[in-house]
Structure 1
Amino acid sequence: MMPEKPTLIGLTRPEMADALVAVGVPEKQARMRVQQLWHWLYVRGVSDFADMLNISRDLRETLDRHFTIARPEIVEEQISNDGTRKWLMRFPARGAGRPVEIETVYIPEEGRGTLCISSQVGCTLNCSFCHTGTQKLVRNLTAEEILAQLMVARDRLGDFPERDTPAGAIVPAEGRKVSNIVMMGMGEPLYNFDHVKQALLIASDNEGLSLSKRRITLSTSGVVPEIARTGEEIGVMLAISLHAVRDELRDVLVPINKKWPLKDLMDACRRYPGLSNARRITFEYVMLKGVNDSLADAREMVKLLRGIPAKINLIPFNPWPGTFYECSDWETIEKFADFINEAGYASPIRTPRGRDILAACGQLKSESERMRKVDRLAMEAMMIANHGEA
């Protein structure tokens, strides 16, 4: 477990300077010390003050007494047959709370590696097709806890200098192991706006982790008042969890629609700062057999998105224990995609990844009291038997 000391990870530069001054660093040195720490934390990826070799021993000992830069505990790492990795991480108690656990998923593909990051422990949205939505919200993650997921992944994949990639790991052949991040894990990022904003601005800082904002995507189920702020204050790519093109159906699948219906959501998308053909909005659409997969739905989608530079990701439904939804037939998905493509929108069908370790889209769920492994394996076996998935 991480020591219960305040962390330096996730602080802005001014916040870090104030923290240093508070423990005795002279104000005239604070800015220079922040630059040193920023480099060690976010370029070199160190997690121990003792490794900061251009900082005096006395200052390293002072920092170690007052702060932590340790990683969260990795409770479990699972590796899928397709190379997808899922980490269960445990964060210490905050205030009067208790330790919490979240899941983070790494998806290797040709030419890139994408990390799916969580923003909350649990979720309040109750989307009826989503396993994560069956876990009640425990709390928001802090900026440090959001960034820690990226830093753990880079540690484990050998993506920091002088770190080795695990033998046999499936990673991009060239460049960064983690080249893209998506805020599509547990929780609704825009219900945790301030912490998500701070974490993503640090992740995209060009003197540190240095991820391009074009390679960061934030996915929301439709928190309309925060969509414009996302573009103005964070400036990352936007994805919308759409899943239905009629209000009466979306009210069931994505209940936040009752508060902000499709018209309001589409208006917010049309006004998204920086929207262009080069910065399209991605619309996520899970394919549910007999629910939202007809050609009438496809026609309505084209009407709904008219005038919005967009890409539509069609997601074959990923089953989970206890769900009553089924994935659309492959032929139905292809016909749906063909119609959307012919209407002028890119409409790729997302290849399901990590299903065998419940790491696929909509399958993340990490209760703080985990079921025993034998019980989880039994449930996964039941899922495979019921749905014919391998």
Structure 2
Amino acid sequence: MEQARPSAKPRSASAEMPNLIGVDREEMAAMLRGVGVPDRQVKMRVSQLWNWLYVRGVSDFDDMANVSKDLRSTLRAHFTIARPEIVEEQVSNDGTRKWLLRFPPRGAGRPVEVETVYIPEAGRGTLCVSSQVGCTLTCSFCHTGTQRLVRNLTAEEILSQLLLARDRLGDFPDRDVPQGSMVPSSDRKITNVVMMGMGEPLYNFEEVKKALLIASDGDGLSLSKRRITLSTSGVVPEIYRTGDEIGVMLAISLHAVRDDLRDILVPINKRYPLKELIEACRNYPGVSNARRITFEYVMLKDVNDSLQDARDLVKLLKGVPAKINLIPFNPWPGTNYQCSDWEQIEKFADFINQAGYASPIRTPRGRDILAACGQLKSESERMKKTDRMAFEAMMIAGHGED
């Protein structure tokens, strides 16, 4: 495992100025009019800014070469496009990267921290994005669920995770590439985005929706909606809205096939039991064999991993175009659960495959830096203040400010 700090200290986001990241075109136009941009120029300026922010990935107004010096000065005086602060960057032995990011306070609140994870694989790279600081769901096997909810993230903060990751991975075009040039999808390091980080995305629906519609905008970040997956523990009313209003791929944190067990593992089941959840999946807009719903199933030894559980899972999902991801449980400090034996996981997978469902076993990634599924939790919740100060002093001494 490696730990790294940025080679140059980036300009971090400010709570004192509105950020142009995360607003839609209409909002951006209104913001520009508010600082004196003439009506006849607004549409052109919005188009320019959109390209610089989301195609070229700039985080400083001075880099916007085709924007006049006077307008750049006006923008700098009233707005920010800065990235969040990187508190810590870790690189796993398997190449997985995890960033602990700090966002400035909102209103009377305090600065908050979230974790974002990049998982490189053959032919693709997946970014796992957080939607909340902490979580309210208290899923008993999930480390994030042990951290109380602090607040929802804004669309700006959700998108900033993607922009910062692309910065750090060199995934934006070079500045000398002609304006308008796009990063070819085949060459992108981040090809897929999953809303599977900290929090329940559907308890922050409006901000997640705004962020994902910008991420999938064809004139900007241009991620295909088929390469964006939103994972929910089962907020049934918002599942329908997700299909209608966002149109991305859907994943369900299932983990149990009986209400009595799921009530324990995923307590939201008490409000939206399995019958309602599966009905919502069956009627998810656009669902088909070409656009299957992914069901995530963490393998817990002697809890949900019997062949009877496998039979009941097949029965439960009958008629739903589905793929079932089997996730070996990733341990975290203080948990009482154990991962199922590998032989049992393979038996479980074989049964489901024979029943006609794709059932890949997810390879655990980033376990050594607590970046695997179910392990995310703000580092500030794990480290005492004195430990943090000592860590930061060590990093500054070791890496300097150059």
Matched residue type, 2:13: M
The alpha carbon displacement at 1:99 in A equals 0.1
* Equivalent in the alignment of 1:343: 355
Matched residue type, 1:360: A
Q: Deviations over 1:261-296 (max 9, x none)?
A: 000000000000000000000000000000000000
Q: In the TM superposition, what are the counterparts of 1:139-150 in structure 2 within 5 Å?
A: 139-150=151-162
Output the CA distance in 2 between the equivalents of 1:155 and 1:287.
Answer: 35
Q: Please state if 1:328 is matched with 2:304.
A: no
TM norm structure 1: 0.93
The alpha carbon displacement at 1:21 in A equals 0.2
TM superposition outliers: structure 1 runs of 4+ over 3 Å? 367-370, 372-376
Q: In the TM superposition, what are the counterparts of 1:57-206 in structure 2 within 5 Å?
A: 57-162=69-174, 175-206=187-218
Please point out which of 203, 218, 230 is paired with 1:218.
Answer: 230
Output the CA distance in 2 between the equivalents of 1:233 and 1:174.
Answer: 28
Matched residue type, 1:16: M
Output the CA distance in 2 between the equivalents of 1:369 and 1:280.
Answer: 36
Q: Please state if 1:306 is matched with 2:314.
A: no
Output the CA distance in 2 between the equivalents of 1:138 and 1:246.
Answer: 31
Question: Are 2:147 and 2:381, in contact at CA under 8 Å, matched by a contact in 1?
Answer: no
Give secondary structure in 2 for the equivalent of 1:256: helix
Give secondary structure in 2 for the equivalent of 1:267: helix
Question: Are 1:72 and 1:148, in contact at CA under 8 Å, matched by a contact in 2?
Answer: yes
TM norm structure 2: 0.90
* Equivalent in the alignment of 1:239: 251
The alpha carbon displacement at 1:162 in A equals 1.3
Output the CA distance in 1 between the equivalents of 2:268 and 2:243.
Answer: 21
Q: In the TM superposition, what are the counterparts of 1:265-284 in structure 2 within 5 Å?
A: 265-284=277-296
- Evaluate the alpha carbon distance shift between residue 223 and residue 14 of structure 1 in structure 2; reply closer, same or farther with a 3 A threshold: same
Give secondary structure in 1 for the equivalent of 2:295: strand
Deviates more, 1:367-376 or 1:307-316: 367-376
Matched residue type, 1:299: R
The alpha carbon displacement at 1:310 in A equals 0.1
Q: Number of residue pairs matched?
A: 369
* Equivalent in the alignment of 1:248: 260
Q: Please state if 1:28 is matched with 2:40.
A: yes
Q: Deviations over 1:200-245 (max 9, x none)?
A: 0000000000000000000000000000100000000000000000
Output the CA distance in 2 between the equivalents of 1:187 and 1:258.
Answer: 18
The alpha carbon displacement at 1:111 in A equals 0.2
Output the CA distance in 1 between the equivalents of 2:133 and 2:298.
Answer: 23
Q: CA RMSD in A?
A: 1.7
Give secondary structure in 2 for the equivalent of 1:350: coil
Output the CA distance in 1 between the equivalents of 2:342 and 2:255.
Answer: 17
Question: Are 1:245 and 1:297, in contact at CA under 8 Å, matched by a contact in 2?
Answer: yes
Structure 2 unaligned segments of length 5 or more: list them: 1-11, 176-183, 389-402
Output the CA distance in 2 between the equivalents of 1:327 and 1:374.
Answer: 33
- Evaluate the alpha carbon distance shift between residue 74 and residue 348 of structure 1 in structure 2; reply closer, same or farther with a 3 A threshold: same
Give secondary structure in 1 for the equivalent of 2:26: helix
Output the CA distance in 1 between the equivalents of 2:40 and 2:135.
Answer: 44
Q: Deviations over 1:277-329 (max 9, x none)?
A: 00000000000000000000000000000000000000000000000000000
Output the CA distance in 2 between the equivalents of 1:190 and 1:136.
Answer: 17
Matched residue type, 1:101: E
Matched residue type, 2:263: D
Matched residue type, 2:300: L
Give secondary structure in 2 for the equivalent of 1:311: strand
Matched residue type, 2:53: L
Matched residue type, 1:34: V
- Evaluate the alpha carbon distance shift between residue 232 and residue 173 of structure 1 in structure 2; reply closer, same or farther with a 3 A threshold: closer
Give secondary structure in 1 for the equivalent of 2:187: coil
* Equivalent in the alignment of 1:2: 13
